[in-house]
Chains A and B, each alone.
Chain A
Amino acid sequence: MSDLNAFITETNIEPTGSGSLDDLEVGVKDNISTEGVRTTCGSEMLEEYVPPYDATVVERLRQEGAVIVGKTNMDEFGMGTTTETSAFGPTKNPVDTSRVPGGSSGGSAAAVAAGDVDVALGSDTGGSVRCPAAFCGVVGIKPTYGLVSRYGLVAYANSLEQIGPIAADTQMAARTLDVLAGRDERDPTTREDDGVTYEEATEWNVSDYTVGVVDELVDGADERVVEEFESAVERLEKSGVSVKRISVPAVEKAVAAYYVIAMSEASSNLARFDGIRYGPSGSGSNWNESFADVRSDAFGEEVKRRILLGTYATSAGYHDKYYAKAQDARAWLRQQFNEKFNTVDALASPTMPVLPFEQGEGIEDPMKMYLADANTTPVNLANLPALSVPAGRSEGLPVGMQLIGPAFGERDIIALASELEP
Protein backbone atom coordinates (compact mmCIF):
# COMPACT_ATOMS: atom_id res chain seq x y z
CA MET A 1 0.00 0.00 0.00
CA SER A 2 1.28 3.47 -0.78
CA ASP A 3 2.16 5.95 1.93
CA LEU A 4 -0.85 8.24 1.63
CA ASN A 5 -2.75 7.34 4.82
CA ALA A 6 -5.58 6.19 2.55
CA PHE A 7 -6.52 3.32 4.88
CA ILE A 8 -7.64 3.38 8.49
CA THR A 9 -7.52 -0.42 8.71
CA GLU A 10 -5.84 -2.84 6.33
CA THR A 11 -7.55 -6.19 6.24
CA ASN A 12 -8.26 -9.22 4.08
CA ILE A 13 -11.95 -10.05 3.89
CA GLU A 14 -12.36 -13.08 1.66
CA PRO A 15 -15.03 -13.47 -1.02
CA THR A 16 -18.05 -15.69 -0.35
CA GLY A 17 -18.75 -16.42 -4.02
CA SER A 18 -17.49 -15.92 -7.54
CA GLY A 19 -18.66 -13.62 -10.32
CA SER A 20 -18.06 -10.31 -12.08
CA LEU A 21 -15.57 -9.04 -9.47
CA ASP A 22 -13.38 -12.17 -9.25
CA ASP A 23 -9.80 -11.39 -8.22
CA LEU A 24 -10.51 -7.70 -7.73
CA GLU A 25 -9.18 -5.89 -4.67
CA VAL A 26 -11.63 -3.44 -3.17
CA GLY A 27 -11.42 -0.63 -0.60
CA VAL A 28 -14.51 0.17 1.48
CA LYS A 29 -15.12 3.55 3.11
CA ASP A 30 -14.93 3.25 6.87
CA ASN A 31 -18.57 4.21 7.46
CA ILE A 32 -19.78 1.02 5.74
CA SER A 33 -20.15 -1.94 8.11
CA THR A 34 -17.85 -4.94 7.79
CA GLU A 35 -18.54 -7.91 10.07
CA GLY A 36 -15.63 -8.48 12.44
CA VAL A 37 -13.55 -5.58 11.06
CA ARG A 38 -13.70 -2.25 12.88
CA THR A 39 -15.70 0.51 11.25
CA THR A 40 -14.63 3.87 12.70
CA CYS A 41 -16.33 6.56 10.55
CA GLY A 42 -13.02 8.41 10.95
CA SER A 43 -14.01 9.19 14.55
CA GLU A 44 -12.58 8.56 18.00
CA MET A 45 -16.16 7.76 18.96
CA LEU A 46 -16.02 4.50 16.99
CA GLU A 47 -12.28 3.83 17.15
CA GLU A 48 -12.90 0.31 18.49
CA TYR A 49 -16.38 -0.35 17.11
CA VAL A 50 -16.63 -3.77 15.42
CA PRO A 51 -19.91 -4.36 13.52
CA PRO A 52 -21.61 -7.72 14.09
CA TYR A 53 -22.87 -7.78 10.48
CA ASP A 54 -21.94 -6.80 6.91
CA ALA A 55 -23.61 -3.94 5.05
CA THR A 56 -25.68 -5.19 2.09
CA VAL A 57 -23.17 -3.67 -0.36
CA VAL A 58 -20.32 -5.55 1.34
CA GLU A 59 -22.27 -8.81 1.13
CA ARG A 60 -22.83 -8.18 -2.58
CA LEU A 61 -19.17 -7.40 -3.32
CA ARG A 62 -18.10 -10.60 -1.56
CA GLN A 63 -20.69 -12.73 -3.35
CA GLU A 64 -19.31 -11.49 -6.69
CA GLY A 65 -15.75 -12.53 -5.86
CA ALA A 66 -14.18 -9.30 -4.55
CA VAL A 67 -11.56 -9.27 -1.79
CA ILE A 68 -11.84 -6.33 0.62
CA VAL A 69 -8.30 -5.22 1.42
CA GLY A 70 -8.92 -2.14 3.50
CA LYS A 71 -11.26 0.30 5.19
CA THR A 72 -10.55 3.72 3.75
CA ASN A 73 -9.96 7.03 5.48
CA MET A 74 -12.66 9.69 5.52
CA ASP A 75 -13.74 12.96 7.06
CA GLU A 76 -15.27 12.26 10.48
CA PHE A 77 -18.78 10.86 9.89
CA GLY A 78 -18.51 12.11 6.28
CA MET A 79 -18.45 15.74 7.39
CA GLY A 80 -15.86 17.45 5.24
CA THR A 81 -14.57 18.15 1.75
CA THR A 82 -10.88 17.32 2.27
CA THR A 83 -10.51 14.18 4.47
CA GLU A 84 -8.72 16.43 6.97
CA THR A 85 -11.35 16.11 9.71
CA SER A 86 -10.52 12.40 10.17
CA ALA A 87 -9.41 11.47 13.69
CA PHE A 88 -6.84 9.24 11.98
CA GLY A 89 -5.00 12.07 10.22
CA PRO A 90 -5.35 13.46 6.70
CA THR A 91 -4.97 11.45 3.49
CA LYS A 92 -2.62 12.74 0.79
CA ASN A 93 -3.56 13.18 -2.85
CA PRO A 94 -1.44 10.74 -4.91
CA VAL A 95 -1.33 13.19 -7.85
CA ASP A 96 0.37 15.81 -5.66
CA THR A 97 0.97 14.89 -2.03
CA SER A 98 0.93 18.54 -0.90
CA ARG A 99 -2.77 18.63 -1.87
CA VAL A 100 -5.88 17.15 -0.27
CA PRO A 101 -7.58 14.21 -2.03
CA GLY A 102 -11.01 15.82 -1.54
CA GLY A 103 -13.63 14.38 0.71
CA SER A 104 -15.26 12.95 2.44
CA SER A 105 -14.40 9.65 0.68
CA GLY A 106 -10.79 10.82 0.22
CA GLY A 107 -9.18 7.53 1.24
CA SER A 108 -11.23 5.63 -1.35
CA ALA A 109 -10.32 7.95 -4.23
CA ALA A 110 -6.64 8.17 -3.21
CA ALA A 111 -6.37 4.36 -2.97
CA VAL A 112 -7.85 3.98 -6.46
CA ALA A 113 -5.68 6.72 -7.99
CA ALA A 114 -2.54 5.24 -6.41
CA GLY A 115 -3.37 1.78 -7.77
CA ASP A 116 -3.69 0.27 -4.27
CA VAL A 117 -7.14 -1.12 -5.13
CA ASP A 118 -9.10 -1.86 -8.32
CA VAL A 119 -12.22 -0.16 -7.07
CA ALA A 120 -13.47 1.43 -3.85
CA LEU A 121 -16.79 2.31 -2.27
CA GLY A 122 -17.57 5.80 -1.05
CA SER A 123 -20.72 7.43 0.25
CA ASP A 124 -22.07 10.69 -1.15
CA THR A 125 -24.27 12.98 0.98
CA GLY A 126 -23.40 16.30 -0.69
CA GLY A 127 -20.59 15.34 -3.07
CA SER A 128 -18.43 12.97 -1.03
CA VAL A 129 -17.90 10.50 -3.90
CA ARG A 130 -17.68 13.01 -6.76
CA CYS A 131 -15.39 15.56 -5.07
CA PRO A 132 -12.54 13.15 -4.25
CA ALA A 133 -12.96 11.44 -7.64
CA ALA A 134 -12.46 14.87 -9.29
CA PHE A 135 -9.51 15.88 -7.09
CA CYS A 136 -7.71 12.54 -7.59
CA GLY A 137 -8.45 12.25 -11.34
CA VAL A 138 -10.65 9.14 -11.21
CA VAL A 139 -14.33 8.27 -11.82
CA GLY A 140 -16.97 8.36 -9.06
CA ILE A 141 -20.71 7.67 -9.33
CA LYS A 142 -23.39 8.97 -6.97
CA PRO A 143 -26.47 6.85 -7.75
CA THR A 144 -30.10 8.02 -7.73
CA TYR A 145 -31.53 7.99 -4.21
CA GLY A 146 -32.99 4.50 -3.81
CA LEU A 147 -30.78 2.64 -6.31
CA VAL A 148 -28.31 1.25 -3.74
CA SER A 149 -29.09 -0.15 -0.30
CA ARG A 150 -27.98 1.93 2.69
CA TYR A 151 -28.33 -1.01 5.10
CA GLY A 152 -25.11 -1.02 7.13
CA LEU A 153 -24.08 2.52 6.17
CA VAL A 154 -23.65 4.62 9.31
CA ALA A 155 -26.15 7.44 8.81
CA TYR A 156 -25.10 11.09 8.57
CA ALA A 157 -28.01 12.63 6.59
CA ASN A 158 -30.10 9.70 5.44
CA SER A 159 -32.48 11.56 3.11
CA LEU A 160 -29.51 12.67 0.99
CA GLU A 161 -26.92 9.92 0.96
CA GLN A 162 -26.11 7.02 -1.33
CA ILE A 163 -23.20 4.58 -1.54
CA GLY A 164 -21.34 4.69 -4.86
CA PRO A 165 -18.26 3.24 -6.62
CA ILE A 166 -14.96 5.00 -7.35
CA ALA A 167 -12.68 3.48 -10.03
CA ALA A 168 -9.95 4.41 -12.48
CA ASP A 169 -12.38 4.29 -15.41
CA THR A 170 -16.10 4.39 -16.11
CA GLN A 171 -16.29 0.73 -17.10
CA MET A 172 -15.00 -0.54 -13.76
CA ALA A 173 -17.23 1.90 -11.85
CA ALA A 174 -20.24 0.76 -13.92
CA ARG A 175 -19.44 -2.93 -13.39
CA THR A 176 -19.32 -2.34 -9.65
CA LEU A 177 -22.59 -0.39 -9.73
CA ASP A 178 -24.20 -3.44 -11.38
CA VAL A 179 -23.26 -5.41 -8.26
CA LEU A 180 -24.38 -2.76 -5.76
CA ALA A 181 -27.73 -1.75 -7.30
CA GLY A 182 -31.11 -3.29 -6.65
CA ARG A 183 -33.82 -4.01 -4.15
CA ASP A 184 -32.87 -4.89 -0.58
CA GLU A 185 -35.67 -5.79 1.80
CA ARG A 186 -33.59 -4.33 4.64
CA ASP A 187 -33.72 -0.86 3.04
CA PRO A 188 -37.30 -0.11 1.98
CA THR A 189 -36.18 2.96 -0.02
CA THR A 190 -34.56 0.67 -2.63
CA ARG A 191 -36.27 -0.46 -5.81
CA GLU A 192 -36.02 -3.28 -8.35
CA ASP A 193 -33.34 -3.15 -11.01
CA ASP A 194 -34.60 -2.91 -14.56
CA GLY A 195 -32.44 -5.23 -16.61
CA VAL A 196 -29.85 -3.55 -18.85
CA THR A 197 -26.49 -3.47 -17.10
CA TYR A 198 -24.56 -0.28 -16.41
CA GLU A 199 -21.44 -1.82 -17.92
CA GLU A 200 -23.23 -2.27 -21.27
CA ALA A 201 -24.05 1.42 -21.28
CA THR A 202 -20.34 2.27 -21.62
CA GLU A 203 -20.66 1.05 -25.25
CA TRP A 204 -23.75 3.07 -26.12
CA ASN A 205 -23.64 5.54 -28.98
CA VAL A 206 -24.21 9.08 -27.69
CA SER A 207 -24.23 10.98 -31.01
CA ASP A 208 -27.92 11.84 -30.70
CA TYR A 209 -27.65 13.03 -27.08
CA THR A 210 -28.28 16.58 -25.89
CA VAL A 211 -26.35 17.89 -22.88
CA GLY A 212 -27.24 21.08 -21.01
CA VAL A 213 -24.37 23.04 -19.46
CA VAL A 214 -25.65 24.71 -16.27
CA ASP A 215 -24.58 28.37 -16.47
CA GLU A 216 -24.77 29.06 -12.73
CA LEU A 217 -22.39 26.18 -11.96
CA VAL A 218 -19.79 27.35 -14.49
CA ASP A 219 -19.93 31.07 -13.66
CA GLY A 220 -18.70 30.63 -10.10
CA ALA A 221 -15.77 28.36 -10.96
CA ASP A 222 -12.03 29.10 -11.05
CA GLU A 223 -11.01 30.00 -14.63
CA ARG A 224 -8.41 27.20 -14.77
CA VAL A 225 -11.19 24.74 -13.97
CA VAL A 226 -13.52 26.30 -16.56
CA GLU A 227 -10.87 26.02 -19.28
CA GLU A 228 -10.48 22.25 -18.79
CA PHE A 229 -14.23 21.80 -18.43
CA GLU A 230 -14.95 23.63 -21.70
CA SER A 231 -12.36 21.59 -23.58
CA ALA A 232 -14.14 18.42 -22.40
CA VAL A 233 -17.47 19.90 -23.55
CA GLU A 234 -15.90 20.46 -26.98
CA ARG A 235 -14.79 16.84 -27.09
CA LEU A 236 -18.40 15.78 -26.46
CA GLU A 237 -19.56 18.08 -29.27
CA LYS A 238 -17.00 16.53 -31.62
CA SER A 239 -18.54 13.12 -30.98
CA GLY A 240 -21.90 14.44 -32.12
CA VAL A 241 -23.44 15.47 -28.80
CA SER A 242 -25.57 18.64 -28.99
CA VAL A 243 -24.73 21.12 -26.26
CA LYS A 244 -27.10 23.78 -24.92
CA ARG A 245 -26.41 26.46 -22.32
CA ILE A 246 -29.17 26.50 -19.73
CA SER A 247 -30.03 28.23 -16.48
CA VAL A 248 -31.20 26.56 -13.25
CA PRO A 249 -31.56 29.53 -10.85
CA ALA A 250 -32.52 27.39 -7.83
CA VAL A 251 -28.99 25.90 -7.63
CA GLU A 252 -27.86 29.16 -6.03
CA LYS A 253 -29.79 28.23 -2.89
CA ALA A 254 -28.38 24.68 -2.79
CA VAL A 255 -25.49 25.16 -0.37
CA ALA A 256 -27.72 26.87 2.20
CA ALA A 257 -30.50 24.30 1.82
CA TYR A 258 -28.04 21.41 1.89
CA TYR A 259 -26.29 22.47 5.07
CA VAL A 260 -29.54 23.16 6.91
CA ILE A 261 -31.00 19.77 5.96
CA ALA A 262 -27.79 17.75 6.38
CA MET A 263 -26.97 19.30 9.74
CA SER A 264 -30.55 18.88 10.98
CA GLU A 265 -30.52 15.20 10.08
CA ALA A 266 -27.02 14.82 11.55
CA SER A 267 -28.08 16.30 14.88
CA SER A 268 -30.73 13.60 15.11
CA ASN A 269 -28.73 10.69 13.63
CA LEU A 270 -25.71 11.31 15.84
CA ALA A 271 -27.86 11.32 19.00
CA ARG A 272 -27.28 7.55 19.11
CA PHE A 273 -23.66 8.07 20.15
CA ASP A 274 -24.20 8.07 23.88
CA GLY A 275 -21.37 5.88 25.19
CA ILE A 276 -23.77 3.10 26.19
CA ARG A 277 -24.09 0.76 23.22
CA TYR A 278 -20.77 1.55 21.56
CA GLY A 279 -17.89 3.93 22.00
CA PRO A 280 -16.05 4.92 25.15
CA SER A 281 -18.29 5.45 28.15
CA GLY A 282 -18.54 8.87 29.78
CA SER A 283 -18.24 9.86 33.39
CA GLY A 284 -20.70 11.97 35.33
CA SER A 285 -23.19 11.48 38.10
CA ASN A 286 -26.19 11.01 35.82
CA TRP A 287 -27.35 10.07 32.32
CA ASN A 288 -27.19 13.56 30.77
CA GLU A 289 -23.78 14.42 32.20
CA SER A 290 -22.35 11.11 31.14
CA PHE A 291 -23.66 11.53 27.56
CA ALA A 292 -22.33 15.07 27.29
CA ASP A 293 -18.97 13.97 28.66
CA VAL A 294 -18.31 11.27 26.08
CA ARG A 295 -19.73 13.26 23.16
CA SER A 296 -17.66 16.36 23.96
CA ASP A 297 -14.57 14.24 24.23
CA ALA A 298 -14.91 11.91 21.25
CA PHE A 299 -16.49 14.14 18.56
CA GLY A 300 -14.24 16.47 16.56
CA GLU A 301 -14.85 20.18 15.94
CA GLU A 302 -16.65 19.88 12.61
CA VAL A 303 -19.03 17.23 13.96
CA LYS A 304 -19.90 19.39 16.97
CA ARG A 305 -20.42 22.41 14.73
CA ARG A 306 -22.89 20.51 12.54
CA ILE A 307 -24.78 19.01 15.49
CA LEU A 308 -25.15 22.48 17.04
CA LEU A 309 -26.37 24.12 13.87
CA GLY A 310 -28.77 21.24 13.18
CA THR A 311 -30.13 21.56 16.70
CA TYR A 312 -30.64 25.29 16.12
CA ALA A 313 -32.34 24.89 12.72
CA THR A 314 -34.86 22.38 14.06
CA SER A 315 -35.62 24.08 17.37
CA ALA A 316 -38.91 25.82 18.15
CA GLY A 317 -39.02 29.32 16.63
CA TYR A 318 -36.32 28.59 14.03
CA HIS A 319 -37.74 25.52 12.32
CA ASP A 320 -39.94 27.53 9.92
CA LYS A 321 -37.23 29.99 9.02
CA TYR A 322 -34.50 27.43 8.29
CA TYR A 323 -35.62 23.80 8.07
CA ALA A 324 -38.99 24.39 6.38
CA LYS A 325 -37.47 26.90 3.91
CA ALA A 326 -34.67 24.47 3.11
CA GLN A 327 -37.29 21.84 2.27
CA ASP A 328 -38.99 24.37 -0.03
CA ALA A 329 -35.65 25.01 -1.72
CA ARG A 330 -35.22 21.28 -2.15
CA ALA A 331 -38.60 20.89 -3.86
CA TRP A 332 -37.99 24.01 -5.99
CA LEU A 333 -34.66 22.68 -7.17
CA ARG A 334 -36.17 19.28 -7.95
CA GLN A 335 -38.87 20.93 -10.07
CA GLN A 336 -36.37 23.03 -12.01
CA PHE A 337 -34.10 20.07 -12.71
CA ASN A 338 -36.98 17.80 -13.77
CA GLU A 339 -38.25 20.46 -16.15
CA LYS A 340 -34.82 20.64 -17.83
CA PHE A 341 -34.83 16.90 -18.46
CA ASN A 342 -37.74 17.40 -20.87
CA THR A 343 -35.28 18.94 -23.32
CA VAL A 344 -31.86 17.47 -22.43
CA ASP A 345 -30.58 13.95 -21.68
CA ALA A 346 -28.04 15.10 -19.10
CA LEU A 347 -26.68 18.22 -17.44
CA ALA A 348 -23.00 19.10 -17.16
CA SER A 349 -20.83 21.29 -14.93
CA PRO A 350 -17.37 21.26 -13.39
CA THR A 351 -17.54 18.77 -10.48
CA MET A 352 -15.66 21.12 -8.15
CA PRO A 353 -15.41 24.87 -8.79
CA VAL A 354 -11.79 24.86 -7.59
CA LEU A 355 -8.54 22.92 -8.01
CA PRO A 356 -7.59 20.55 -5.13
CA PHE A 357 -6.84 22.57 -1.97
CA GLU A 358 -3.40 22.61 -0.38
CA GLN A 359 -3.24 20.49 2.77
CA GLY A 360 -4.30 22.70 5.69
CA GLU A 361 -5.72 25.46 3.46
CA GLY A 362 -9.37 25.12 4.36
CA ILE A 363 -9.58 23.38 7.67
CA GLU A 364 -9.65 26.71 9.53
CA ASP A 365 -12.26 28.21 7.22
CA PRO A 366 -15.37 26.01 7.18
CA MET A 367 -17.41 28.48 5.10
CA LYS A 368 -14.87 28.26 2.28
CA MET A 369 -15.19 24.47 2.37
CA TYR A 370 -18.99 24.60 2.40
CA LEU A 371 -19.05 26.86 -0.67
CA ALA A 372 -16.80 24.41 -2.54
CA ASP A 373 -19.79 22.03 -2.48
CA ALA A 374 -21.85 24.42 -4.64
CA ASN A 375 -21.91 22.15 -7.71
CA THR A 376 -22.38 18.78 -6.02
CA THR A 377 -25.03 19.48 -3.34
CA PRO A 378 -27.90 20.33 -5.78
CA VAL A 379 -27.78 16.73 -7.03
CA ASN A 380 -28.34 15.18 -3.59
CA LEU A 381 -31.15 17.64 -2.84
CA ALA A 382 -32.88 16.58 -6.08
CA ASN A 383 -32.23 12.82 -5.46
CA LEU A 384 -30.61 12.57 -8.93
CA PRO A 385 -27.73 10.42 -10.23
CA ALA A 386 -24.45 12.11 -11.11
CA LEU A 387 -20.86 11.16 -11.74
CA SER A 388 -17.47 12.80 -11.99
CA VAL A 389 -15.19 11.90 -14.89
CA PRO A 390 -11.72 13.38 -15.55
CA ALA A 391 -11.96 16.42 -17.87
CA GLY A 392 -8.26 17.27 -17.99
CA ARG A 393 -5.48 18.72 -15.87
CA SER A 394 -4.52 22.26 -15.01
CA GLU A 395 -1.06 22.97 -13.57
CA GLY A 396 -0.76 19.20 -13.21
CA LEU A 397 -3.89 18.98 -11.05
CA PRO A 398 -7.00 17.00 -12.01
CA VAL A 399 -10.25 18.70 -13.05
CA GLY A 400 -13.49 16.71 -13.11
CA MET A 401 -16.61 17.06 -15.22
CA GLN A 402 -19.88 16.36 -13.47
CA LEU A 403 -22.66 14.75 -15.52
CA ILE A 404 -26.13 14.74 -13.96
CA GLY A 405 -28.93 12.47 -15.21
CA PRO A 406 -32.67 12.23 -14.64
CA ALA A 407 -33.77 9.91 -11.82
CA PHE A 408 -32.53 6.35 -12.55
CA GLY A 409 -30.81 7.66 -15.71
CA GLU A 410 -27.38 6.37 -14.62
CA ARG A 411 -26.88 4.58 -17.95
CA ASP A 412 -27.03 7.80 -19.98
CA ILE A 413 -24.42 9.62 -17.92
CA ILE A 414 -22.23 6.49 -17.93
CA ALA A 415 -22.45 6.40 -21.74
CA LEU A 416 -21.49 10.08 -21.99
CA ALA A 417 -18.63 9.71 -19.50
CA SER A 418 -17.06 6.82 -21.39
CA GLU A 419 -17.13 8.94 -24.54
CA LEU A 420 -14.69 11.30 -22.79
CA GLU A 421 -12.24 8.54 -21.94
CA PRO A 422 -9.32 7.53 -24.16
Chain B
Amino acid sequence: MSDDGRLSEEDLEHLAELARLTLSDEEVSEFQSKLEELLEHCEKLSEVPEVEEEADLENVFAPEELSTNLDHEQATQNAETTEDGEFRGPAVGDGA
Protein backbone atom coordinates (compact mmCIF):
# COMPACT_ATOMS: atom_id res chain seq x y z
CA MET B 1 0.00 0.00 0.00
CA SER B 2 1.24 3.48 -0.77
CA ASP B 3 1.90 6.23 1.76
CA ASP B 4 -0.31 8.90 0.22
CA GLY B 5 -3.60 7.46 1.42
CA ARG B 6 -4.38 5.97 -2.01
CA LEU B 7 -5.81 2.48 -2.03
CA SER B 8 -5.39 0.31 -5.11
CA GLU B 9 -7.76 -2.53 -5.99
CA GLU B 10 -5.04 -4.96 -4.92
CA ASP B 11 -4.76 -3.19 -1.55
CA LEU B 12 -8.46 -3.58 -0.99
CA GLU B 13 -8.43 -7.22 -1.92
CA HIS B 14 -5.55 -7.80 0.48
CA LEU B 15 -7.43 -6.03 3.30
CA ALA B 16 -10.54 -8.03 2.52
CA GLU B 17 -8.55 -11.24 2.78
CA LEU B 18 -7.15 -10.19 6.18
CA ALA B 19 -10.68 -9.31 7.36
CA ARG B 20 -12.18 -12.55 5.97
CA LEU B 21 -14.50 -10.76 3.56
CA THR B 22 -15.06 -11.51 -0.11
CA LEU B 23 -15.89 -8.38 -2.09
CA SER B 24 -17.71 -8.15 -5.40
CA ASP B 25 -16.14 -5.96 -8.13
CA GLU B 26 -18.81 -3.38 -7.46
CA GLU B 27 -17.95 -3.33 -3.76
CA VAL B 28 -14.24 -2.98 -4.50
CA SER B 29 -14.71 0.24 -6.46
CA GLU B 30 -17.35 1.57 -4.07
CA PHE B 31 -15.21 0.92 -0.96
CA GLN B 32 -12.09 2.25 -2.69
CA SER B 33 -13.50 5.75 -3.12
CA LYS B 34 -15.36 5.89 0.22
CA LEU B 35 -12.38 4.68 2.24
CA GLU B 36 -10.00 7.06 0.45
CA GLU B 37 -12.26 9.94 1.35
CA LEU B 38 -12.19 8.93 5.01
CA LEU B 39 -8.42 8.36 5.02
CA GLU B 40 -7.95 11.79 3.53
CA HIS B 41 -9.94 13.26 6.42
CA CYS B 42 -7.80 11.26 8.88
CA GLU B 43 -4.67 12.98 7.53
CA LYS B 44 -5.42 15.74 10.04
CA LEU B 45 -4.29 13.39 12.79
CA SER B 46 -0.72 14.16 11.70
CA GLU B 47 -1.19 17.63 13.27
CA VAL B 48 -1.79 16.11 16.73
CA PRO B 49 1.17 16.50 19.12
CA GLU B 50 2.60 13.47 20.88
CA VAL B 51 0.93 13.30 24.28
CA GLU B 52 2.33 11.83 27.47
CA GLU B 53 -0.59 10.88 29.64
CA GLU B 54 -0.57 9.42 33.11
CA ALA B 55 -3.45 7.01 33.03
CA ASP B 56 -5.72 7.42 36.04
CA LEU B 57 -6.50 3.73 36.24
CA GLU B 58 -6.56 1.06 38.89
CA ASN B 59 -6.26 -2.67 38.40
CA VAL B 60 -9.22 -4.78 39.40
CA PHE B 61 -8.46 -8.21 40.79
CA ALA B 62 -10.75 -11.05 41.73
CA PRO B 63 -10.03 -14.46 43.17
CA GLU B 64 -9.95 -17.18 40.56
CA GLU B 65 -12.82 -19.42 41.55
CA LEU B 66 -14.61 -22.07 39.60
CA SER B 67 -18.30 -21.29 39.10
CA THR B 68 -21.09 -22.51 36.86
CA ASN B 69 -21.78 -20.28 33.90
CA LEU B 70 -23.51 -21.60 30.76
CA ASP B 71 -23.85 -25.35 30.32
CA HIS B 72 -22.94 -26.94 26.98
CA GLU B 73 -26.51 -27.01 25.76
CA GLN B 74 -27.01 -23.28 26.39
CA ALA B 75 -23.63 -22.37 24.98
CA THR B 76 -24.22 -24.22 21.73
CA GLN B 77 -27.94 -23.44 21.30
CA ASN B 78 -27.29 -20.87 18.55
CA ALA B 79 -24.89 -22.98 16.49
CA GLU B 80 -26.12 -24.55 13.26
CA THR B 81 -23.88 -27.58 13.63
CA THR B 82 -22.86 -29.21 16.90
CA GLU B 83 -21.49 -32.60 17.90
CA ASP B 84 -21.76 -34.08 21.41
CA GLY B 85 -22.50 -30.67 22.93
CA GLU B 86 -19.58 -28.99 21.16
CA PHE B 87 -19.27 -26.65 18.18
CA ARG B 88 -18.45 -28.18 14.84
CA GLY B 89 -16.59 -26.01 12.34
CA PRO B 90 -15.40 -26.46 8.77
CA ALA B 91 -12.10 -28.23 8.03
CA VAL B 92 -9.02 -26.12 8.67
CA GLY B 93 -7.19 -27.37 5.58
CA ASP B 94 -8.47 -27.87 2.02
CA GLY B 95 -10.37 -30.79 0.64
CA ALA B 96 -12.29 -32.02 3.65
- Measuring CB to CB, which residues of chain A are less than 8 angstroms from any residue of chain B? 48-50, 52-53, 185, 188-189, 250, 252-253, 255-257, 259-260, 267, 271, 274-282, 284-293, 295-296, 299, 301, 304-305, 307-309, 311-312, 315, 317-318, 321-322, 325-326, 328-329, 331-332, 334-335, 366-367, 370
Contacts and interface: CB of A to CB of B under 8 A. Distances in A.
A225 to B, nearest CB: 22
A308 B31 contact: yes
B84 interface: no
Given A285-B95, A285-B96, A290-B90, A304 B41 contact: no
B1 A253 contact: no
B80 A280 contact: yes
Contact of A276 (B1, B19, B62, B87): B87
Nearest to B18: A311
Nearest to B12: A308
Contact of B21 (A286, A290, A308): A308
B46 interface: yes
Interface string B36-56: 011101101111111101000
A321 B90 CA distance: 37
Given A260-B42, A317-B1, A308 B16 contact: yes
7 contacts: A50-B78, A271-B20, A286-B91, A289-B90, A296-B22, A308-B19, A332-B49
B20 A329 contact: no
Contact of A305 (B31, B74, B94): B31
Interface in B57-89: 60, 62, 70, 74-81, 87-89
B11 to A, nearest CB: 8
Nearest to B51: A331
Interface of B: 1, 7, 12, 15-16, 18-23, 27, 30-31, 34-35, 37-39, 41-42, 44-51, 53, 60, 62, 70, 74-81, 87-96
Nearest to B91: A286
Q: Which 9 A-B pairs have the closest CB atoms?
A: A278-B78, A52-B74, A325-B45, A331-B53, A331-B51, A188-B60, A290-B90, A296-B22, A281-B80
Contact of A329 (B45, B89, B94, B96): B45
A52 B75 contact: yes
Contacts of B92: 286-287
A278 B81 CA distance: 10
A53 B75 CA distance: 10
Contacts of A260: 42, 45
Contacts of A370: 38, 41
A305 B16 CA distance: 10
Contacts of A299: 21
Contacts of B81: 276, 281
Contacts of A326: 42, 45
Nearest to B78: A278
Contacts of B91: 285-287
B47 A312 contact: no
B42 A322 contact: yes
Contact of B15 (A285, A289, A312, A321): A312
B79 A277 contact: yes
A295 B51 contact: no
Contact of A307 (B19, B22, B46, B94): B19
A395 B18 CA distance: 48
A250 B78 CA distance: 44
A292 B21 contact: yes
Nearest to A291: B20
Contacts of B78: 48-50, 277-279
Given A253-B48, A256-B45, A276-B89, A188 B62 contact: yes
B51 A305 contact: no
Contacts of A284: 90
Given A188-B60, A367-B34, A256 B42 contact: yes
A15 B49 CA distance: 51
B89 A287 contact: yes
B41 A256 contact: yes
Nearest to A303: B21
Contact of A293 (B16, B22, B89): B22
A49 B77 CA distance: 9
A367 B35 contact: no
